[in-house]
Amino acid sequence: MSNNSEISTPIRLVLFSSEECWACPEVEMIVHQVVGTSMGDIVHVSTIDVDEDPEAATKYGVYKLPALMVNEEIVLHGSVTEDDVRDILWTRLITEILKTEEIASLRKENMLNITMNALQSVSGEELVRPNIGDYVHLGTVLQTTLSMYALDPLMPELFYLAGREVGKYGAMQYHLSMLNRKIGTTLRPNKRFNEFLKAIVSYYSNVDVLPYLLAEEASYEKINDSEARIYLKNLLTACVSSEFTETTCDFTAGEIAGSAEAITGRFAVCIETACQSKGDDSCVFHLKLVSDREAAKRPLPLSEDKHARHERRETFFELLHEITLEIKDSLLMKKRLRPKIGDFVHISALQTRIMGLKLMDEFSSSILYAAGREFGVVGPGKPILYEIARTLHNSFPLSLGDAVRIMKKYLSHPTSYLGREYSFVQDSVIDEEQEKYVIRLFEYANSSGAPNLGVKFCDFFAGYLAGRIHLLTEEDPQVIETACQGSGAKYCEFSIEPLS
């Protein structure tokens, strides 16, 4: 299992087309021929109709059709010969595959760093956030995860792969051996699987020994010596029952598969077959040990047709909006989503997700930002934001400077502190004339106490700021994280200025 190529982030290939484009169907056919024969399991193809989604065309600078994009870079613009299309595709896809392998080994190291850090905090040795403690409301994890699911149908799979890395290379193995000492002494493979199952249910639900507060109840049912079902009740990403058509706990499925591989020394695949987010009684994870790497791969989501992406997104945000009302009731202590253990989780649950994704896939930054922006525009809390704005201003839209000052007040509003996402907010003017401002967050759950990996982690919040400011100014500002606790700074700092 030492070969790095086992971890491969899907490569994104996007074809831009339209009804009127006469050359598009042929290019589409070639794409499917090249990808379909040998790369179907590592390349995810989707089509964007520029008439339906003109924003995407503008964003990526598409001015001629057909256009092909590999991992956010346009590699073909306008019609060319069939051979050219094949050449370009092959060269670009092979380059991307090689790049992925190089990054893999570095990732393993980082993963261990991230999770070892959580150990000290959860064992109570040292708090990462001295002022507000190391627990955050689970709504934060839920809303971040679901906004990302909404934007990109590939996200569930990326969450799975990130979870798998965390399970395989993070501190989870250490936890499992601690929870069940027999793991260290049992050598027979079948017995090891038994001991693993006992440990994994303990990992999710034994909150006295390991207070991550991930789930409320856990149990398992062994099917045979290499297969089992694991039941988790009120898991942090599914404790609000809803009508989602997809499961929402792929990160956990990945963690289970990854840690099973680490403990049993075999390949593993895990699929969530029922989920509370879909209205089921509990989340059910079907875990299977398999003999080779190929069998451990999950099928990528089907390449979508033109309308599917848009509809899926609408449905997701609608349901997300519904469940935020329940989250709000929980924040205001009107209701407990998890009667026994309460609705706060250890910050490492959020951090492993975000950092796992960022280390897995360099493109997750732009999805995190886009998801944050969308959440900023449509998410909860708008009445309070407008109320604050109205008490200070009577004419709208606001200038950028005024909007930033409103945001500071909004983020410091008592209800904003209920989730314990951060302890303190600061704003300052860098240059009023040039309209340059910053907002700083202290003890931000997303990145507090993270080891310095030289990476900034808070793209979601940057996007969120951009979305909220858009509501006040009707303009899209440029928001960039200029300092992050995840790369050694004392706070996370976001610079805000007009889009040039």
- Contacting positions for Zn ion (CB under 5 A): 238, 249, 275, 283, 447, 458, 484, 492
C-beta closer to Zn ion: residue 195 or 421: 421
Quick one: which of 277, 261, 118 has its CA closest to 200?
A: 261
- Decide if 369 contacts 17 (C-beta within 8 A): no
Strand partners, 47: 15
Return the structure tokens found at 394: 């009577």
Q: How far is the CB of 485 from Zn ion (least distance, A)?
A: 5
Quick one: which of 122, 303, 341, 145 has its CA closest to 210?
A: 122
Q: How far is the CB of 131 from Zn ion (least distance, A)?
A: 17
Distances (CA, A) of 430 to 150, 189, 437, 495: 35, 62, 5, 9
- Decide if 444 contacts 374 (C-beta within 8 A): no
C-beta closer to Zn ion: residue 355 or 458: 458
Q: How far is the CB of 441 from Zn ion (least distance, A)?
A: 7
Q: How far is the CB of 459 from Zn ion (least distance, A)?
A: 9
C-beta closer to Zn ion: residue 264 or 447: 447
Q: How far is the CB of 381 from Zn ion (least distance, A)?
A: 20
C-beta closer to Zn ion: residue 89 or 283: 283
Share of the chain residues as helix, strand and coil, in percent rounded to the nearest 5: 50, 20, 35
Which backbone phi and psi does 296 adopt, to 5 degrees?
-85, 0
C-beta closer to Zn ion: residue 9 or 447: 447
Q: How far is the CB of 174 from Zn ion (least distance, A)?
A: 25
Q: How far is the CB of 337 from Zn ion (least distance, A)?
A: 14
Q: How far is the CB of 489 from Zn ion (least distance, A)?
A: 8
Cite the beta strand spans of 282-323 per DSSP E: 283-290
C-beta closer to Zn ion: residue 5 or 131: 131
Residue 334 CA to residue 107 CA, distance in Å, equals: 42
Q: Would you put residue 213 in left (φ > 0), alpha (ψ -120 to 50) or beta? A: left
C-beta closer to Zn ion: residue 15 or 253: 253
Residue by residue, DSSP assigns 377-440 as HHSS-HHHHHHHHHHH-SSSSPPHHHHHHHHHHHHTSHHHHTT-S-SEEEEEEEETTTTEEEEE
Where does residue 339 rank: exposed (0-12), middle (13-18), buried (19+ CB within 10 A)? exposed
C-beta closer to Zn ion: residue 361 or 481: 481
- Decide if 296 contacts 267 (C-beta within 8 A): yes
